[in-house]
Structures are given as structure tokens and as C-alpha cells.
């Protein structure tokens, strides 16, 4: 496959660190030093499906195709107001496409899992042009009284249109079941037969454990992919990493012995938007004219599961 268009959409409400200081025992200094974040876009009146649709339509326009050309939609999503149908179905109706659709939940790694699935489907000849959307509202999963977690997240959607091509140089997906490290549990409807105890709980995250695992797994994925492709770290123009925390990005940069010019970031302005983060950053680079034909890019993400996804792509647009 090759990427031929990108798009993004974020909620209008911007929540600064100073705004968080108003109701949490926190400080702008603590948040900036520990995470690199200064503000984040947070859903207020918007619906996630509308942001996802806006990102999708922008990607389709950027690709120079029409919704009628899309013959499969994959949407990466962890939560939204609909349990069913999947967000991909809602996007399909909203953009006026007619193709089959599926949602995938691989937590923050979901956009890269979805790109990999799109490549497989194109290779199998079952689809030619695929819309991949990552839409997330992690601010709805956290306890807004808990300063250790709610300051970290933002909401948004990113999208890419992919079609036949050979720009995916390599990809690597891993999953290690480690649910105790990061999870979010909600209750379902009661029935007359339920005897087990159920309790809805906001997202739990062991921040230090996630930090260590993220740095080690992302560096390992990237090194493996570079070795397999016979590339050196400096051959990659940009490492487009999951924007979870500036210190994680800096640590991965250090592991690869590169300078930060290879690591574009937007975590300062968006916070952690889960699987949407890589898609949003890719769109920013594309629309800012930072990507040239022939550039090699690494995408790499990690998240609950514990899942990781990484790929090397050549920019062909
Ligand atoms: N403001 C002020 N103080 C705070 C805040 C806050 N918002 N949050 C925690 N603290 C305090 C703690 O209570 C603690 O105080 P104590 O020393 O008196 O006990 C102190 O700051 C240090 O807390 P730590 O948790 O040890 O801080 P740490 O340096 O580890 O940073 C952080 C925490 C930012 C969560 C870090 O561990 C991290 O980034 N982890 C990775 C998280 C991540 O990337 N998650 C996403 C990946 S998966 C996904 O995207 C869903």
C-alpha cells in the first residue's frame, strides 16, 4: 500500500495547564516538566463520530479521490458513545461510501494495526482504496479528580487514505497480555441472571511501568525494522511516535543516538490522543509541506494490552 491522503479534526475546546490548576492540585510547571504538555483539545459539545467524519473527508479530499472510490473502511477506536454499531459504520454513512467497514481496538497502537490490516487487504486483492481512521476520546475514560491521569489526555481524530503501492517497507506488531498495567472497565446492562460483582472504574494506569515498557518496546520495534530493511537510524527522515509523553519520545531518540530534529512532536498542544496521535501528527507534517517524495518515515506506537505497532513507510505523495 501507499498513503495518498491524510486528514485530522480536533475538538474546539482547548484546556490549558492553567485551567487544570483551577480545580486540581497540580501546576503548569509539573505538567510541562513531566510530560511536555501545555494544552490539550477536549471534547465538549462535539460527538466523536463527527470529528472522525471530518478527518475522513479531509483525507479523501487530500487524496484526490471520492467516497465512491473507498472500498473498505477501518476505524481504530477504544471508546465512544456507541458500543454498536462500530464508528466505521457511522463514518461510512456520513461520508456516503458504500463499502464494508470494521472497527479495531488495539489501544494506542490501533492506527498502525489498521494500516497493516489495510496493506494485507490490498495485497489479497480484496480492496484497492481503503480509508483508515483513528478517532479517540480518552478524556471520557479518566477520573477528572485524579491529577495523576486526567492531565495526560486529549481527544481527536486522524485519517489516511491508502491505495495499491509498495511504500510499506516493513511492519511489526506485538502484543503481550499485561492488563494489570493499564485498563478501563465499565459495566454492562443488568440482567435477572447476573450474580458476579461488577464495578465501573475509571482508567487505571501504572505510569512508571508504562513509561519503561514504552521506551524499551518502541526502541526494540524500530531497531528490528531498521535491521530487517538494512537501514541506519539516520536514514529515516522522521520518527512519528505516539505522542504520549515528551520524555518517552526523548528517551527513544536517545536510544537511537539521534538528535530531536528526526522526532517531530505535537504533544505540547494535543496531549495523548491515543491511537489518533500518530495519524494527527502525520497529517500535520503532510499539510505543513514537511514531507518530500522518497522520504522514509517510521511510525511507532504502544498502548494498553500491552500492544505495540511500528512500520517504515516511504512517502510517495
Ligand atoms: N500534578 C502534580 N503532581 C502530580 C501530578 C500532577 N498532575 N500527578 C502526579 N503527581 C505527583 C505524584 O503524586 C507524586 O507525588 P509524591 O512523590 O508526593 O508521591 C509525584 O508527582 C511523582 O509522581 P510519579 O507518578 O512518580 O511521576 P512520574 O515522573 O512517573 O510521571 C507520568 C508520571 C507523567 C504519568 C509518567 O509516569 C508517564 O508519562 N508515564 C507514561 C504514561 C503514558 O505514556 N501513558 C500512555 C501510554 S498508553 C496510552 O496511551 C493509553
Q: According to the 3-state scheme, what is the secondary structure of the chain?
A: CEEEEEEEECCCCEEEHHHHHCCCCCCHHHHHHHHCCCEEECCCCCCHHHHHHHHHHHHHHHHCCCHHHCCEEEEECCCCCCCCCCHHHHHHHHHCCCCEEEEECECECHHHHHHHHHHHHHHCCCCCEEEEEEEECHHHCCCCCCHHHHCCECCEEEEEEEECCCCEEEEEEEECCCCCCEEEECCCCCCCCCCCCCCCEEEEECHHHHHHHHHHHHHHHHHHHHHHHCCCHHHCCEEEECCCCHHHHHHHHHHCCCCHHHCCCCHHHHCECCCHHHHHHHHHHHHCCCCCCCCEEEEEEEECCCEEEEEEEECCC
CA of 148 to the centre of ligand 1 (A): 5
Residue nearest (by alpha carbon) to ligand 1 atom 1: 26
Active site residue 272: yes
What CA–CA distances, in Å, run from 109 to 28, 42, 203, 278, 306? 28, 21, 17, 9, 9
Q: Which three cell numbers stand for residue 34?
A: 513531566
Residue nearest (by alpha carbon) to ligand 1 atom 40: 207
Distance CA 98, CA 72 (A): 9
Active site residue 108: yes
CA of 203 to the centre of ligand 1 (A): 14
Residue nearest (by alpha carbon) to ligand 1 atom 20: 148
Ligand 1, from 26, 105, 210: best to mutate by most atoms within 8 Å of Cβ? 210
- Return per-residue pLDDT of the chain as tens, 317 residues: 999 999 999 999 999 999 999 999 999 999 999 999 999 999 999 999 999 999 999 999 999 999 999 999 999 999 999 999 999 999 999 999 999 999 999 999 999 999 999 999 999 999 999 999 999 999 999 999 999 999 999 999 999 999 999 999 999 999 999 999 999 999 999 999 999 999 999 999 999 999 999 999 999 999 999 999 999 999 999 999 999 999 999 999 999 999 999 999 999 999 999 999 999 999 999 999 999 999 999 999 999 999 999 999 999 98
pLDDT, tens digit (0-9, with 9 covering 90-100), for 195-248: 999 999 999 999 999 999 999 999 999 999 999 999 999 999 999 999 999 999
pTM above 0.75, yes or no: yes
Ligand 1, from 19, 109, 148: best to mutate by most atoms within 8 Å of Cβ? 148
Residue nearest (by alpha carbon) to ligand 1 atom 46: 244
Amino acid at each position: 500500500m501507499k498513503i495518498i491522503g491524510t486528514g485530522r479534526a480536533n475538538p474546539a475546546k482547548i484546556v490549558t495547564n492553567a485551567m487544570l490548576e483551577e480545580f486540581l492540585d497540580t501546576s503548569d510547571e509539573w505538567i510541562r516538566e513531566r510530560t511536555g504538555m501545555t494544552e490539550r483539545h477536549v471534547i465538549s459539545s462535539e460527538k466523536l463520530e463527527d470529528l472522525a467524519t471530518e478527518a475522513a473527508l479531509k483525507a479523501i479530499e487530500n487524496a484526490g479521490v471520492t467516497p465512491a472510490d473507498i472500498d473498505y473502511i477501518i476505524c481504530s477506536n477504544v471508546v465512544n458513545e456507541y458500543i454498536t454499531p462500530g464508528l466505521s459504520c457511522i463514518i461510512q454513512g456520513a461520508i456516503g461510501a458504500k463499502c464494508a467497514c470494521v472497527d479495531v481496538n488495539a489501544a494506542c497502537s490501533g492506527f498502525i494495526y489498521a494500516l497493516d490490516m489495510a496493506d494485507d487487504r490490498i495485497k489479497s486483492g480484496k480492496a484497492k482504496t481503503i480509508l483508515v481512521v483513528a478517532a479517540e476520546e480518552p478524556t471520557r475514560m479518566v477520573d477528572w479528580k485524579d491529577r495523576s491521569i486526567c492531565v495526560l489526555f486529549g481527544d481527536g481524530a486522524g485519517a489516511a487514505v491508502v491505495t495499491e503501492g509498495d511504500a510499506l517497507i516493513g511492519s511489526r506488531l506485538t502484543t503481550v497480555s499485561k492488563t494489570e498495567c493499564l485498563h478501563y472497565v465499565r459495566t454492562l446492562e443488568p440482567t435477572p441472571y447476573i450474580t458476579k460483582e461488577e464495578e465501573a472504574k475509571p482508567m487505571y494506569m501504572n505510569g512508571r511501568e508504562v513509561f519503561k515498557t514504552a521506551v524499551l518496546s518502541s526502541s526494540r520495534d524500530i531497531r528490528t525494522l531498521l535491521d530487517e530493511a538494512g537501514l541506519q537510524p539516520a536514514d529515516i527522515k522522521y520518527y512519528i511516535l505516539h505522542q504520549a509523553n515528551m520524555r518517552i519520545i526523548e528517551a527513544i531518540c536517545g536510544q537511537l543516538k539521534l538528535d530531536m530534529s528526526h522526532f517531530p512532536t505535537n504533544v505540547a498542544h494535543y496531549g495523548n490522543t491515543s491511537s489518533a496521535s500518530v495519524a494527527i501528527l502525520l497529517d500535520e507534517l503532510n499539510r505543513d509541506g514537511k514531507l518530500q517524495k522518497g522520504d522514509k518515515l517510521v511510525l511507532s506506537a504502544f498502548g494498553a494490552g500491552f500492544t505495540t505497532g511500528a512500520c517504515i513507510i516511504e512517502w510517495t505523495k
